[in-house]
Amino acid sequence: MWKILFFTIISLAYAGTSLEELKENSCYSLTMWLQRQKHNDLEKVIEAKPHLDASNIRTKIMERAFNNCMRFITEEEAREVINTSPSKQSKFEHLVPILNNGLETSKDIEVDFMYFKKRRDIRYRLEVGNGKKGPGKEKKGDL
């Protein structure tokens, strides 16, 4: 009986993790789309706040867009994002709005360290999944 319960818990944990990773991958992809396609809109926000650090504003907006996406994306949308080319991801724009309200002081644009860590982990996971990194993928000179 305990074995069945143990495997059920492990299966549920794994299923939750894979859905969470799917959502993270999709939201990461959408924030990269936002950064590329809405560059001019981002620059307007940054120019309106010359007293603040531009890179921190940009990063904070990306963090907010990612968190908004993670909150509202459905499993179906996440699967669709992954299977949609970046040039056609504009239909998911509602998931990654430019949330710049309340960015008035240096404290407002402090980026959570966990966002940097999560972004790095997702990028690595995507690169490994695409065969760009991992065992046997070293470039000449990396050895």
Are the CB atoms for 22 and 75 separated by under 8 Å? yes
pLDDT number for residue 10: 35
Task: Give the C-alpha separation, 59 to 112, whole Å.
Answer: 10
Local structure of 30: helix, strand or coil = helix
Q: Where are the domains of the chain?
A: 23-121
Q: Please say if the pLDDT value at position 142 is more than 80.
A: no
Structure token pair of residue 65 = 């867009």
For residue 8, count CB atoms less than 10 angstroms from its CB and return exposed for 0-12, middle for 13-18, buried for 19 or more.
Answer: exposed
Mean pLDDT for the stretch of residues 24-33:
96
pLDDT number for residue 131: 58
Structure token pair of residue 113 = 């360290």
Q: Which of 65-69, 70-74, 85-89, 126-130 has the lowest mean pLDDT?
A: 126-130
Structure token pair of residue 12 = 């549920």
- The mean pLDDT value of the chain amounts to 84
Residue with tokens 């010359």: 50
- Predicted confidence (pLDDT) per residue in 32-53, tens digit: 999 999 999 999 999 999 999 9
Whole-prediction pTM: 0.78
